[in-house]
Amino acid sequence: MKFGLVGYPLTHSFSKQYFESKFQTLGLKDFSYDNFPIEKIEDILPILQSDISGLNITIPYKTSAIDFLNEIDDTALKIGAVNTLVRTGKYSWKGFNTDEAGFKKSLQNWMKGYPVPGKALILGTGGAALAIHYALNVLGIQSSFVSRGPGGDFSYENLTNELIHEHLLIINATPVGMEPNREGCPAIPYDALTNNHWLFDVVYNPANTLFLTRGEQMGAHTKNGLDMLHLQAEQAWFIWKSYGKF
């Protein structure tokens, strides 16, 4: 059976290595996983029409991929983004969002035993940000989007020290700081961070982004997105197994 990852670019992704290792460990010799770096979402059509059984979707197509599906899971529909697709028939596909469950579990494991922050800032408004917003709402944490353009609750220019003090959980849901551009970081007032702040970065390569490093310098708790990646990937694998019956 064939699986793969759709996005652009894909130089940052560990998914291929992750699933190929899983196939080898489970002795699934006829299973394969390939990367499909496509420059526009319309190029997903021949992939969907091939003999592939399941797909992971990453930036920048988590929202636009919905238009190519026959069905969508209720949670993914509410989020407005998908990151896992499964073939349900010869010409039909269903979309799911496993980012939400992966982030939620990762956050809960990380903050276990600590008071849950009442407010959070989500940096970005893309597919990952939408899933994180949904997860935080489930956990009872009020969250606001920060964006460079329209669509956010705050712009980066509007982020005052007071706002940072009010929001003790800050999540980078953008690719800023990801390899090969590790010198970048979101433009927030890092000097306003304290040891009461929690900084979560969905980026996992490099393991310690500049966003996290600058948070650590101010005493903040920090976590990268590798655990979230593993958790959402396992959920995707569960979905593929459920529909593929293998």
Residues 151-200: tens digit of each pLDDT: 899 999 999 999 999 999 999 999 999 988 999 999 999 999 999 999 99
Cα 26 to Cα 20, 81, 102: the distances in Å are 10, 30, 22
Report the predicted TM-score, pTM, of the whole model to 2 decimal places. 0.94
Best CA proximity match to 100, nearest among 174, 198, 202, 187: 202
Q: Which residues are catalytic?
A: 62
pLDDT digits (tens, 9 = 90+) for 110-164: 999 999 999 999 999 999 999 999 999 999 999 999 999 888 999 999 999 999 9
Q: β-pairing, 92-96 with 84-89? A: antiparallel
How far apart are alpha carbons 169 and 152 in whole angstroms?
Answer: 17
Residue type, 153: D
For residue 9, give the nearest of 34, 33, 37 by alpha carbon: 37
Distance between CA atoms of 140 and 213, rounded to whole angstroms? 28
- What is the share, in percent, of the chain residues with pLDDT greater than 90? 93
